[in-house]
Amino acid sequence: MSAELTMNAAAKRELAERVSTEVIAAAQAFDTATLHEAAGKIGALPSAIKPVSPGFRIAGPAVTVHAPGGDNLWLHRAIYMAQPGDVLVVHVNGVYEHGYWGEVMSTAAKARKLGGLVIDGCVRDGALLAEVGFPVFARGLCIRGTGKDFAAPGFINHPTLFGDVTVHAGDLVVGDGDGVVVIPREAAQRTVEGAQKRADDERGIMARLEQGESSLSIYGWY
């Protein structure tokens, strides 16, 4: 039986609206801190979530997954619901100490041309994940296995809470070496525009600092 047929229709939701490809492409020019600041200092996911490999970076629309603790069946299901470029953003009910994702799932997700994984829990096969090259952001590495309970409730593409950030399906997700930021879909365009202005302003400030001005005088912090 296919993964699609095994899912309860009430527990999944097709992703109707995604942040546009143009905004995603523009967002790739900026680091996560700049986007977070430009958005009004919102959207920073828990700082423990970092790239498993230093070169990993993500930018794409969120497919949210709420998985039972210690179980990764809903992650497998999400791989086959998501579309190319989508980023799986997975909540594991605070049960961090399991390897929810590994080489097999990264290979499957890469074959599906997904954009990446952000999980508020651990993964395993760290060196192999780097070799596969599918971007994974997680709390860390853990070898403890997971179950696959077909009766366990889970959700795909419903609002999901990560720390103090509520992530909605279709929101803009960007991750780099500093962490992950999620920008609401309806705010993504103006956030990218604000990020460009912020980057332009900072270039001017850097030039003034290099000429010997102080940060206190530039910002008026006396």
**Is residue 2 scored above 60 in pLDDT?**
no
| Global pTM value | 0.91
Over residues 61-79, the pLDDT tens digits come to 999 999 999 999 999 999 9
103 in a labelled binding site: yes
CA gap 183, 171 in Å, rounded = 6
Class for the domain spanning 3-219: alpha beta
SS (H, E, C) the chain: CCHHHHCCHHHECCCCCCCCHHHHHHHCCCCHHHHHHHCCCCCECCCCCEECCCCCCEEEEEEEEECCCCECHHHHHHHHHCCCCCEEEEECCCCCCCECCCHHHHHHHHHCCCCEEEECCEECCHHHHHHHCCCEEECEECCCCCECCCCCCCEECCCEEECCEEECCCCEEEEECCEEEEECHHHHHHHHHHHHHHHHHHHHHHHHHHCCCCHHHHHCCC
125 in a labelled binding site: yes
Over residues 151-208, the pLDDT tens digits come to 999 999 999 999 999 999 999 999 999 999 999 999 999 999 999 999 999 999 999 9
Over residues 80-106, the pLDDT tens digits come to 999 999 999 999 999 999 999 999 999
Q: Band of the pLDDT at 12, cuts 50, 70, 90?
A: low
Over residues 121-146, the pLDDT tens digits come to 999 999 999 999 999 999 999 999 99
124 in a labelled binding site: yes
Q: Which residues contact 104 (CB under 8 A, 6 or more apart)?
A: none
102 in a labelled binding site: yes
Q: Band of the pLDDT at 17, cuts 50, 70, 90?
A: confident
